[in-house]
Structure 1
Amino acid sequence: MISNINVARGSFAMSHMAAAPIVVAKREVSRRYFPLLGEKYKSPKKIKQEALQAQLKQKMIEAIKKGTYDQQVLEQKLKKQFQTVKKSADVEYKLRDPKSIIKTLQQIRANLETKKSKGETKLKLKFATSIGKTAIKVPFLLAHDNGEVLSRKTIIFTDAPSELPEEVLKNTESYKIGGQELVNDIANDVFSPEGFDKCFCTTTMLRQVITLAKKLGPLGLMPSAKKGTAGNDMNEVLKNNSSDLDRAIQILVEEPVIINEEVVIGNVKNLNDIELLENVISVRSGISHTLKNYNLNHPRAPLNLFSFKFECDDFEPVDLEYTKY
């Protein structure tokens, strides 16, 4: 009898389940599945930002069409300025009349007393820059000492400044000394290496200094063990790089201009004709090598030397031969 009751109860339950509506819970699709469904979820904030960017882009397009866009106006100004600089440089280069420096020196020596000249000689150089920003250091090594007193500015990266000579530590006008803090200052544009002639680094600081390659490299200030400007003993590095024959021209410009530079070669009373000639060749070779590599790596922002003159006190400058790249 009990089994009959259970069967009856089961039949009653089944009949009621069949009659009752079945409700299936619907799970909302998570946002992470949107890309799988071919959709992309965007927050209201992002939609607003994209709308603002679209408006700015449209305004820029309209300004470019009208010729009133700031960057466009600046580029047009620089292009016009560049054409003026280029034309002036080309005219001067074509009109040059190169002379023999040996014959020039013979004439100078023959007239030194008459002119009452001190005999100091120099090279007068003119560079033409392009539209882009230019930052380059042009190094060269004189063949003979010209007796010029130099005031150099040097950067020293070291984590042990106390090991440097006292005369270096006290000479704050000529030396900028620091470790990681100096690296950070240069990286964040707090301190500028522009205007410095040399840069040395201890081996322990080299890894940190390498991060400044884009800032130090164009200025010719990137230290390396191969060049002898980085080493374990900073006193030894300073000693090996103390030659007064090492020279450099630093060119730092923001727009197309003609740059005038001078390089002291020596005195005709102290150096003979061959020694002065070798100094001229040293400068010319150093400049040619640097400009050739620079222009090869910066085809859109070339730098050209278009005037190469030799001058002695109280004498007219004389054009020397030079190949313009």
Structure 2
Amino acid sequence: MGMTLARLRDNFEKETIDNEDLSQLELADLKTISTLGIGGFGRVNLVKHVDSDKVFALKILNKAHVKKMNQQDHVLNERNILAACRNDFIVRLHRSFRDSERLYMLMEYCPGGEVWAMLRNWGRFDEQTARFYCAAALEAFDYLHRHFIIYRDLKPENMLLDKNGIPKLADFGFAKCLKSESGRTFTFCGTAEYVAPEIILNKGQSLGVDLWALGIFMYELVSGTPPFASTDPMFTYNSILKGVQSLAWPKYFSESAKSLICKFCRREPAQRLGYGRIEDARRDPWFQGFDFVAFRNHTMRPPIKPKLRSPTDTQNFDRFPSFDNFSSGEDDSGWDFEF
């Protein structure tokens, strides 16, 4: 991981003025406004710099809980990968902090909330809207895969909208840097409805798992639910192993949409469209007429522009309690020394 991430960081030696300003920022300079979310391994708070109008999302992890859940490697991977990434479709990590009890990641605040919340409100997206968010995932994957980084957690909950409606991948807790383009990893992780067959069969995961997930993501955006949804994980896994060819497609799916989902969700990872060459996916008929240059330049109008009353507006997030039940206490074992 070290060499690949070092090379990635070398591409971005020139930091922006904004980040130079943040280099002197300390935790004591931040005031908590509210809680944006609580996950399985920590919480995310909206915080404001006490001497300016700058607002951030602060991810907070209790070290004792991370250690109890055996998530040390995932936490370190997330911090190291996000610290090295500079891409418009990936949420920005500005700084990280640590103390005797907790780890902190100071991140870009995306006040538009999760694409999942918008999908929940709309019921399902038309294909033109879905295309915009699938394009964001493609751009992020193109960037990550060129640096041998596997994301492993694409879903509408992990794509956020910034104030202008630009979609960004967040939550890199399952991300990992492979040794090469053909490298593999074997850790079983991800969301049940989104895991690829090779994960279930423990055959080793390559960059292809992200392309499988993109097909599932596309299906969920167009239909409102993932194709292999069930309250029983084993039923879900068995359905995944049967493949997308066993699906009964809703009538509103276009033929080009069904075709692209099937290309992303081919059984063999190396045969999935975009494997080793994301450009092939951009050229698929489903994306015909979609201007990727305008998309990357942010001159394309987003289908959803968040409504915001102020820089600290949280109306696009659900309400969460200000407390949690995560294990707490000091941890001086040193596993987080480089955090």
TM-score tier after normalising by the smaller chain length: under 0.3
**TM-score, normalising length: structure 1:** 0.24
**TM-score, normalising length: structure 2:** 0.24
The structure with the largest strand share of the pair is 1
The structure with the largest helix share of the pair is 1
